[in-house]
C-alpha cells in the first residue's frame, strides 16, 4: 500500500529502467513496458446493510498481454491506490514471464476494508466490480485471482456474476475458485509452497542443510502460512512470525525460540491471518514489537506481507546470520535496500520469482478448467515444484554466469521474454 513518500509504481519503473539499460532495450520497447497497456478506474455503489449507500473505488490495470491474457489478483485494502495496482500489475508481467507460462500481467483492487463489511456487502462489491469491467475481462482477455484479503468465496461470487451476465459457463474466467466449482487442488498452498521450493533450492546451492536452519516470517496470511508449514515439514525451525493486531491497529511479532508448531499457531489465527495475542501468550509465545521479525538471528527471512518492508532504514536491522531472503510478498524490498543486500552478499530470491507459485497454479487451474478434467493434488504440486525449481535454476545460472544480483538476473530473463513477444508481434 502506499505509505507517505513511497510510491510502488515509481519503484517498479526504477527497477525496470535499470534492467532495460543493462539489456540495451530500444526506446519504444522501454516506453511500452514501463507503463500499463490499459487501466480502468470505476465506482462501485453499494446499498449497505443499514440501508445507506456507499461508493467504493475499483481498479483493474492490464500491464501487458503480449505473452497471453493479462493475469493477476484483486486486492481489497483500505489503502489501495492506482499506483499500487499499477506496480503490482507490472510485477505480474515479469512473474508470468520468469516462470514461462503463457500469460501476461494485470492487477485489480477495491479500496475497502473487509474487516468492517458484512459478507453480503462484500458479495455486492465483488458483483459490482465485475459488472463495471465485464467487457474487458474474460478467459481470453484478462483473468483475475485472489490476493490480499480476497478468497475463493470472493472469486466464486465474481465468476457467478460473470456467468449471469454472459449466459455461459466460463470457469476459466477467474482462478483461485473453491474446489468442486472449477478450483484446483493445491491452489491454496501453491504460493507458500512455491516460496519454499525456491528456498530449498537456494539452500542446496549454498550447501546448507535445512535441518540446521532457522527462519523468521513477516505476516501470517495465505502465503506465509503455507511457507511456514512446508518449511517446518522439511525440517527447518521457524522461530518468529509477525501479524497484524486489529485491536491495537499495529503489527506484533510472535516468537518461540524452540520452534513454532504450525498447527498450533494456525489454530489461534483468524481468516485474515491475524494471530490472537492472548491465546499466543498462553501458548508460551513471546510478544515483541511488529518490527522485531526482521531483527532475528536467523538464517532465512521471509517477508510475506506488503511492499516497502525492507527499506533503507530497516535493512540495517538485518543480522549478519541472515543468508537468504525469500520474498513471499510483492515488492517488499526497495532499490536502496537492494544495494545494501547486494553488498552484504545476501542471497535474495526476488518476489516475482519466489512467489510465482500462486499464479503458476492458477495457470494449471485454467488448463484443468479448459480440459474439464482435474488432476490430483500430488500431480498439481509435482508440476508446480518442477516449474518453480526450473525457473529458480535459470535465474541462478544467469546470476552466476554474469555475476549479477539475483533480482537483476530474474528481471533480465523476464523482460527479455516480454520484449521479444512485443517485437515478434510487431508492436514496436
Ligand atoms: N495474487 C497472486 C500473485 O500476486 C496470484 C495471481 C494469480 O493467481 O493470478 O501472484
Quick: pLDDT tens for 85-107. Answer: 999 999 999 999 999 999 999 99
- pLDDT for position 137: 96
Domains of the chain: 37-180 (3.40.50.10860), 188-354 (3.40.50.720)
The arithmetic mean of pLDDT across residues 386-402, rounded, is: 98
The arithmetic mean of pLDDT across residues 229-252, rounded, is: 96
The arithmetic mean of pLDDT across residues 282-287, rounded, is: 97
- pLDDT for position 310: 98
pLDDT interval class at 372 (50, 70, 90): very high
Q: Is the CB of 75 under 6 A from ligand 1?
A: no
Q: Which three cell numbers stand for residue 214?
A: 532457522
Q: Which three cell numbers stand for residue 392?
A: 529458480
The arithmetic mean of pLDDT across residues 265-287, rounded, is: 96
Task: Compute φ and ψ for 161, nearest 5 degrees.
Answer: -65, -45
Q: Which residues contact 308 (CB under 8 A, 6 or more apart)?
A: 3, 6, 8, 11, 331, 332, 334
CA distance 33 to 242: 35
CA distance 233 to 207: 19
CA distance 360 to 365: 9
Residue 2 has pLDDT above 60, yes or no: no
Q: Which helix (H) or strand (E) holds 349?
A: strand 347-349
The arithmetic mean of pLDDT across residues 358-377, rounded, is: 97
Residue 253 has pLDDT above 60, yes or no: yes
- pLDDT for position 4: 62
Locate all alpha helices (DSSP H) within 134-257, ordered by sequence.
Answer: 152-166, 187-206, 222-233
CA distance 267 to 229: 13
- pLDDT for position 1: 46
Distance from Cα 359 to the centre of ligand 1, integer Å: 5
Task: Report the residue count for the chain.
Answer: 428
pLDDT interval class at 3 (50, 70, 90): low
CA distance 7 to 307: 10
How far is residue 237 from each of residues 21, 152, 209, 299, measured CA to CA in Å? 41, 30, 12, 10
- If phi over 0 gives left and psi between -120 and 50 gives alpha, with beta otherwise, what is residue 152? alpha
Quick: pLDDT tens for 328-355. Answer: 999 999 999 999 999 999 999 999 999 9
Q: Are 337 and 313 in contact (CB under 8 A)?
A: no
Q: Which residues contact 386 (CB under 8 A, 6 or more apart)?
A: none
CA distance 348 to 198: 11
Whether 237 sits among the annotated catalytic residues: the reply is no
- pLDDT for position 5: 79
- pLDDT for position 242: 98
The arithmetic mean of pLDDT across residues 176-196, rounded, is: 97
Q: Are 99 and 93 in contact (CB under 8 A)?
A: no
Distance from Cα 44 to the centre of ligand 1, integer Å: 23
- pLDDT for position 365: 98
Distance from Cα 185 to the centre of ligand 1, integer Å: 16
Distance from Cα 364 to the centre of ligand 1, integer Å: 13
Q: Look up cell 491495537; give the residue.
A: 248
Catalytic residue among 71, 107, 237, 387: 107
Cα end-to-end span (Å), the chain:
32
Alpha-carbon dihedral sign for residues 202, 324, 192, 68: negative
Nearest residue to 359 via CA among 40, 98, 1, 135: 98
Question: Percent of the chain having pLDDT more than 90?
Answer: 98
Quick: pLDDT tens for 123-152. Answer: 999 999 999 999 999 999 999 999 999 999
Residue among 75, 92, 188 whose CB has most ligand 1 atoms within 8 A, to mutate: 92
Q: Is the CB of 365 under 6 A from ligand 1?
A: no
Quick: pLDDT tens for 6-37. Answer: 999 999 999 999 999 999 999 999 999 999 99
CA distance 160 to 166: 10
Residue 368 has pLDDT above 60, yes or no: yes
The arithmetic mean of pLDDT across residues 56-74, rounded, is: 98
Q: Which three cell numbers stand for residue 411?
A: 528481471
pTM of structure: 0.96
Counting from 1 in the atom list of ligand 1, the atom nearest the Cα of 103 is 9
Amino acid at each position: 500500500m502506499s505509505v507517505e513518500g513511497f510510491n510502488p509504481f515509481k519503484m517498479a519503473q526504477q527497477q525496470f529502467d535499470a534492467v532495460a539499460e543493462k539489456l540495451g532495450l530500444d526506446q519504444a520497447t522501454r516506453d511500452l513496458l514501463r507503463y500499463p497497456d490499459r487501466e480502468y478506474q470505476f465506482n462501485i455503489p453499494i446499498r449497505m446493510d443499514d440501508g445507506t449507500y456507499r461508493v467504493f473505488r475499483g481498479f483493474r490495470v492490464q500491464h501487458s498481454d503480449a505473452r497471453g491474457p493479462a493475469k493477476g489478483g484483486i486486492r481489497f485494502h483500505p489503502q489501495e491506490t492506482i499506483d499500487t495496482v499499477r506496480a503490482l500489475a507490472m510485477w505480474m508481467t515479469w512473474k508470468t514471464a520468469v516462470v514461462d507460462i503463457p500469460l501476461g500481467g494485470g492487477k485489480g483492487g477495491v479500496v475497502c476494508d473487509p474487516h468492517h463489511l458484512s459478507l453480503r456487502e462484500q458479495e455486492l462489491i465483488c458483483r459490482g466490480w465485475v459488472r463495471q469491467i465485464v467487457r474487458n475481462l474474460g478467459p481470453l482477455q484478462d483473468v483475475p485471482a485472489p490476493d490480499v484479503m480476497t478468497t475463493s468465496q470472493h472469486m466464486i461470487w465474481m465468476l457467478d456474476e460473470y456467468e449471469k451476465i454472459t449466459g455461459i459457463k466460463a470457469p476459466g474466467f477467474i482462478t483461485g475458485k473453491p474446489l468442486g466449482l472449477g478450483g484446483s487442488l493445491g491452489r491454496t498452498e501453491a504460493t507458500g509452497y512455491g516460496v519454499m521450493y525456491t528456498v530449498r533450492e537456494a539452500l542446496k546451492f549454498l550447501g546448507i542443510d535445512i535441518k540446521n536452519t532457522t527462519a523468521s516470517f513477516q505476516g501470517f496470511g495465505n502465503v506465509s502460512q503455507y511457507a511456514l508449514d512446508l518449511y517446518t515439514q522439511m525440517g527447518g525451525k521457524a522461530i518468529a512470525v509477525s501479524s497484524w493486531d486489529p485491536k491495537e491497529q499495529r503489527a506484533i511479532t510472535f516468537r518461540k525460540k524452540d520452534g513454532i508448531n504450525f498447527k498450533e499457531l494456525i489454530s489461534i489465527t483468524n481468516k485474515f491471518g491475524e494471530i490472537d495475542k492472548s491465546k499466543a501468550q498462553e501458548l508460551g509465545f513471546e510478544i515483541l514489537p511488529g518490527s522485531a521479525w526482521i531483527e532475528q538471528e536467523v538464517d532465512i527471512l521471509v517477508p510475506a506481507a506488503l511492499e516497502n518492508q525492507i527499506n533503507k532504514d530497516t535493512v540495517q536491522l538485518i543480522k549478519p546470520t541472515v543468508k537468504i531472503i525469500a520474498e513471499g510478498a510483492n515488492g517488499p524490498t526497495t532499490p536502496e535496500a537492494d544495494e545494501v543486500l547486494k553488498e552484504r552478499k545476501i542471497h535474495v530470491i526476488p518476489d516475482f520469482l519466489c512467489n510465482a507459485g500462486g499464479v503458476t497454479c492458477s495457470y494449471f487451474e485454467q488448463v484443468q478448467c479448459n480440459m474439464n478434467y482435474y488432476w490430483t493434488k500430488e500431480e498439481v504440486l509435482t508440476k508446480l515444484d518442477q516449474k518453480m525449481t526450473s525457473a529458480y535454476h535459470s535465474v541462478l545460472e544467469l546470476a552466476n554466469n554474469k555475476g549479477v544480483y539475483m533480482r537483476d538476473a530474474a528481471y533480465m530473463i523476464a523482460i527479455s521474454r516480454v520484449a521479444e513477444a512485443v517485437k515478434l508481434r510487431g508492436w514496436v
